[in-house]
Amino acid sequence: MSLTQGFEAVDRGDRGVGVRDRVLVLPSVICSRIVADRIAEAVPGAVSAPHDHGCGQIGDDKSQTLRAFLGVGSNPNVAGTVVVGLGCESIQSDDVAADLSDLGVPVRETAIQDAGGTDATVEAGADAAKRLRETEGSNGERTADLSDLTVGVVSGDLSASTRETADPLVGDVLDQLVDAGARVVAAGSERVVAHPDHAAARAASDESAAAVRELVERHRGQPARASRVGRDATDHEFDAVTRAWGDQPIRRVLAYGERADHDEGLAVVDAPSRFAEAATGLVATGAQVVIHVTGEGVPTGHPVAPVLKVSGDEATLSAVGDDVDVDATAASVADLLDRLRAVAGGRRVRAEEHGLESSAITRVGPSM
């Protein structure tokens, strides 16, 4: 398959091209997440992005959550965003809406304490989402190709089948995408923390190497990095635990929630390998499609971007093959590129077909 073979996408201007056309209902706090869910359920083409944050957060933790809100809300797959607040949270819904508007996102806002309670907020939010659907949905379609994409990747484990079968397949695909001019953003920064010198040596510039070392220093000794992937990463060489990232040098290190601004090539996102948190971090960079390598067959996707599930574990494929999009034991690089192009062109992934979506935001530290 030619990487320049076109597919129809939605032109979002400075935000890039969208491969989905969704109205996002974004709760600015955990307290409004159920209301946001109800609003999205009432409007065809709307999705909500629930999370556990926004209340009592301070300092870097608050800043990171806000970055994630803005990144997800401005993703090119989003036609417009309805921000739903409670009214007393530390990250106010009207502030989030104002910041999204400054980023060029069509936005509406409502809050439970302002609207007059749950029912009134659901009604106001649903009306706002319908208006965004009518005025912003499916506008400005144009032909795009894979080089127009930012592709996110997260490898969720370090099992032998993942390292030896699925990761190499995905890495070879991402190398071809980068060679064609696409951007790749990779989550799973535990791998960098486990191998700081090798990661810095793979940086594309002195500036990138310094950013790698800063990432390592931020997480040095933190229990949050003592995950299974973080522990397992020390048992293998850096190249072996980052094979899904391809062979590209690290051009940028992105904070969680930060928008990708490199022209092409690989950027590492300071996000864990846990799927829901990683996917939100990748979507916040602007990734229109996410590739998830999973030896365990984790079935969930993300509400904003389609998630291609790739597995090389024969037991997983036998047990839950209906939840996996690509069998890495049988697929070629051309097969995965073809599937990626089809998904960008509108073909639903398994998680979309099954209605299995989740989102989460990682933490810097504890909330009050």
The tens place of each residue's pLDDT in the chain, 368 residues long, gives 567 788 999 999 999 999 999 999 999 999 999 999 999 999 999 999 999 998 888 899 999 999 999 999 999 999 999 999 999 888 999 999 999 999 999 999 999 999 999 999 999 999 999 999 998 866 678 899 999 999 999 999 999 999 999 999 999 999 999 999 999 999 999 999 999 999 999 999 999 999 999 999 998 866 544 577 887 888 899 999 999 999 999 999 999 999 999 999 999 999 999 999 999 999 999 999 999 999 999 999 999 999 999 999 999 999 999 999 999 999 999 999 999 999 999 999 999 999 999 999 999 865 55
Distance (Å) of CA 153 to CA 92, 187, 309: 31, 6, 10
Rounded to whole angstroms, the Cα distance separating 30 from 350 reads 28
Query: 127 Cβ partners below 8 Å, 6+ apart?
Result: none
Task: For residue 281, count other CB atoms closer than 10 A to its CB.
Answer: 33
CB 50 within 8 A of CB 57: no
Domain 22-137 falls in which CATH fold? Rossmann fold (3.40.50)
Q: What is the pLDDT of residues 249-263, one digit of tens each?
A: 999 999 999 999 999
The amino acid present at 359, given as its one-letter code, is S
Q: Is the pTM of this model over 0.75?
A: yes
Rounded to whole angstroms, the Cα distance separating 319 from 68 reads 34
Q: Where do runs of H (alpha helix) occur along 116-259? A: 118-136, 160-161, 167-179, 190-194, 196-201, 206-219, 228-233, 238-241
